Amino acid sequence: MANLKHVPHFTRKYRRTPRPMDASATIQAAPFGWSSSNWSGYAIASDTSGTYQSVSASWQVPAVQATSTSPAPSGWGWLGRLLSWLFGGGGQSSTDAYSATWIGIDGFNNSNLIQTGTAQNIVNGKPQYYAWWEILPAAETEIDPVQYPVSAGDMMTAAIAKQADGTWQIQLANQTRGWTFLKNGIQYTGPQTSVEWIEEAPEVNGSITSLANYGQVTFSNITVNGANPNLQISEAGVLVQGNQQLSTPSAPGPNGNDFNIAYGATQPSAPGT
């Protein structure tokens, strides 16, 4: 995994892979289909290779705020934050918190993943926003923030699609600022057996980060292979860290192609209800 410079004056390693939830965690008794210590949102999976050729969605970049209650990456609460402060904690300060909003193909039921989205972090007490793309096992690539700036409140549309020649295209558009980022000719060989729409606490230098308080996000205009996926609540999952449920998706909206997701353990209402 390569070192990537994400903010001025330091380099970090970001990676986005799902982790099982803490064994002692207590989550809502709602009919969620899965849980994780770093992912939350919706994921659809298949046993057949090549099932998913494209995925897309829109969302508004959430404003993040610092919180003193987020658990340390290790899930050890104040002790973990103290140890992180004393011994470096992989380069994070005790107040740093991270969130990522993204779409992807693969990763849920295999070790491959192609994805793109936005980052909303609190670093050294200050909010940080940018766009990125990633193909595991490599770390994320930040999209040039000068040419492609991102701020809280911007409306984003993302799409990942396999092309006729077998290569892949990543497209991320900021409708508020009027730019579109295109990455063409991507060589990707994952099995195409899952698709995701995720709010995440990413890894930094191999440790799962504290999740930033992102408020609420709506994933809308969701498509899979160019069609409405007709999402089901059983395809939804919650994020649990340190025995706390920190990110919770709603049921799908009436049309089955959108959902809300909120910071905390309270399930938000579905869009349009």
* CATH level 2 (architecture), domain 4-16+35-247: Sandwich (2.60)
Q: How far apart are CA 253 and CA 210, in angstroms?
A: 29
pLDDT, mean of each 10-residue run, the chain (273 residues): 25 49 46 93 98 99 75 48 45 75 96 97 94 95 98 99 98 99 98 98 89 97 98 96 93 98 97 89
Amino acid 160: pLDDT: 99
Q: Which secondary-structure segment (H or E) carries 127?
A: strand 126-135
Please report, for residues 80, 131, 215, the alpha-carbon distance to residue 93 in angstroms, rounded to integers and kept in the order given: 11, 22, 22
pLDDT for res 177 = 98
Can you tell me the distance from the alpha carbon of 7 to that of 141, in angstroms, rounded to the nearest whole number?
12
Distance CA 100, CA 16 (A): 9
Phi-psi map region of 109: left, alpha, beta (phi>0 left; psi -120 to 50 alpha): alpha
pLDDT of the residue at 19: 59
Cβ atoms 215, 187 nearer than 8 A: no
Q: Are 27 and 21 in contact (CB under 8 A)?
A: yes
Contact 106, 191 (CB under 8 A): yes
The sign of the dihedral angle between the CA atoms of 16, 158, 237, 227 is negative
pLDDT at 112: 96
pLDDT at residue 97, as a whole number: 94
pLDDT at site 250: 98
Model-level pTM? 0.83
